[in-house]
Every structure is written in structure tokens, then in C-alpha cells.
Amino acid sequence: MRNIEEYLRPDVIQEVARLDLKARFIIEGFISGLHDSPYYGFSSEFSEHRKYSAGDDPKHIDWKVFARTDKFYIKRFEAETNLDCHILLDVSESMAYSYGGVIGKLEYAIYMAAALGYMMVNQQDNVGLITFDEELTNVVPSRSKRAHLIAILGVLASAMQHRSSRLAHCLHRAADLLRKRGLVVLFSDLIPSEVEDQQQVMDGLRHVRHRGHDVICFQLLDHAELAFPFEGPVRFVDVEGSRAIRADSEEVAEAYREEIRDFIERYRDACRDAEIDFVQVDTADSFDRVLLSFLRKRQRKF
């Protein structure tokens, strides 16, 4: 039988058939790992506790938690913990890319969106979902009921559109729709289409931020897009179109790796200037890195 923490590995979770079970195993593996890590406090956040502070009423101390941890925690009230979160999921053509038969960018993003939905509904937080490619394809308003999680998982399970993207356009549309301030979590490779550029994508992200939302942007790239493992003559096809070129891998590898580094850094710098959290994700990464980034952002809201 597998150790529950193994379900933080994309290659393992890929073997699980049902999306609801994938989400559950990811979260349970994550919380299990936190108990033996320097991030144990995040486990208490998940359990609806916070550290005791001077001035707190001692009658709210959870003595069962104290017995396990030798630390004082108090139960958090619903008003303290309620969060409104909107997940934006890019389901465009470029997100379908994967190399070597491993988990693809969209699959990785779907698992993470499902896991966040599972975690937040169990926290009685509100979570909503918007999927998009060249237009918004699904809009699920934010709710905190368990039945609502089923609706979100249903949309995620069928979120394989694979049309070209208009990322900037869709970010502006989402900003106009999301009127209640909260946390916006974007999963995308941030690759612009032929009709947009990187600056226009950032304008869309700034629009979301200027509506008063806290924004965390997860840029998902396939491991091959980062490492460029190709050898010899290769036919390369545009992930956002049909253009193709043939090139000798060794001749273009260095220039490509420099360009992808610059591409990521331009987003990182622009997001920092816009007060947007930016996390670059390799699809070979385990899921705990993404979840920790999310929980750090959530913690700063309280």
C-alpha cells in the first residue's frame, strides 16, 4: 500500500481514476507531510486553528491540540476564516502540451484546482471556478457547500477544450465579472497567442489586481519546455498555432534556454511590480510546492 505522501507526486496521482479521489489524496498527503516538516503551522491553519496570542480568551484554547503539539492553539471563528477564492484555469491549446508521456500542464493544473477546491470547501471557504481559452468557457460562482465542490469537479473533469488562447482578453473579462474582492488563483502557462503579447497579458493581470483582488499566478511549464531535452534534427510545432520549423536541437538549445529564462523573468519582475504573487511550476514538481505557496498567500490575508 502506498504511503499517503506519495500522492504528492504527479506520476503517482495520475494512476488514480477519479478526480475527487485525486484531490483528496493530494490534500491528505500534503497535510500528512506538514506534520513532520518546518511548516507544521500550516497544518493547524487547515484544521481551523491559529496560534494563541496575548489577549485571546483562554476558554477557546483547544487542549487536544495542546496535548499533541505542546503549543497553544485556539479554534478560529467562521468570520475569521471565511475566504472568497476564484480559480482561473487556462484550458487553451498550449496547455495540452506534454512530452515523453508524462503528466501535461493542463492535467497538472486540473489536479491542483481540484485539490484547492477540496481543501477550501472543507474549510467552509467560498471557491469558484472560471475556465477559458479564447473566451470564458465555464463560470462557476463561488460557494462553500459540498454539493458545490461536485459541480466544480464536474467542470474540471471535462475541461479539455484545446482551442487557441486569448489570455489577456479572458483576464479582462474575468476582472469585470469578479466584483466581490477575494483571492484569485491563476493556473496558466502564460504563453500569449499570435494576436496578443506578454505586455497585454500583464495588463490583464493588473486589471484583476486593480479590482482589489489578491492575485497568485502559477505559471505551469512542461519539464521539456524548461530543460529542452531534444537531440538531433527535430520538427517543432507552435503550441498556439500550426506553424512548424525544422531545426538542429544542439544548434538552438542554448538560445532557447536563454529565451525561456528571459520569458519567465519578465513575468516574475512584472508581477512583483504589480504586487502579484508569481510562482513558476515545473510539471515534474510535486504538488506540495504549489499548495505551500497558496497557503502562504492565504495566511497573509488574516
CATH number at residue 108: 3.40.50.410
pLDDT at 41: 44
pLDDT below 50 — which residues of the chain? 1, 35-47, 77-80, 302
Given this model, what pLDDT does residue 122 score?
80
Domain boundary among 38, 56, 79: 79
What's the confidence (pLDDT) of residue 294?
Answer: 79
- Number of domains present in the structure of the chain: 2
pLDDT of 108 reads: 93
Domain range for 13 is: 4-79
Q: Are residues 150 and 269 in the same domain?
A: yes
Do 114 and 128 fall into the same domain? Answer: yes
- What pLDDT was estimated at residue 40? 43
- Predicted local confidence at residue 138, as pLDDT: 94
Do 203 and 230 sit in the same domain of this protein? yes
156 and 253 together in one domain: yes
Same domain assignment for residues 148 and 211: yes
Tell me the per-residue pLDDT of 84-140, one tens digit each, with 9 for 90 and over: 899 999 999 899 888 877 789 999 999 999 999 988 888 788 999 999 999 999 999
Q: Are residues 35 and 89 in the same domain?
A: no
pLDDT at 128: 95
Do 162 and 289 share a structural domain? yes
The reply to whether the predicted model has a pTM over 0.85 is no
pLDDT value at position 42?
45
- Which one of 60, 79, 98 terminates a domain? 79
Three-state SS annotation for the chain: CCCHHHHHCHHHHCCCCCHHHHHHHHHHHHHHHHCCCCCHHHHHHHCCEEECCCCCCHHHECHHHHHHHCCCEEECCHHHHCCEEEEEEECCHHHHCCCCCCCCHHHHHHHHHHHHHHHHHHCCCEEEEEEECCCEEEEEEEECCHHHHHHHHHHHHCCCCCCCCCHHHHHHHHHHHCCCCCEEEEEECCCCCCCCCHHHHHHHHHHHHHCCCEEEEEEEECHHHHHCCCCCEEEEECCCCCCEEEEEHHHHHHHHHHHHHHHHHHHHHHHHHCCCEEEEEECCCCCHHHHHHHHHHHHCCC
Alpha-carbon distance of 216 to 212, in angstroms, equals 13
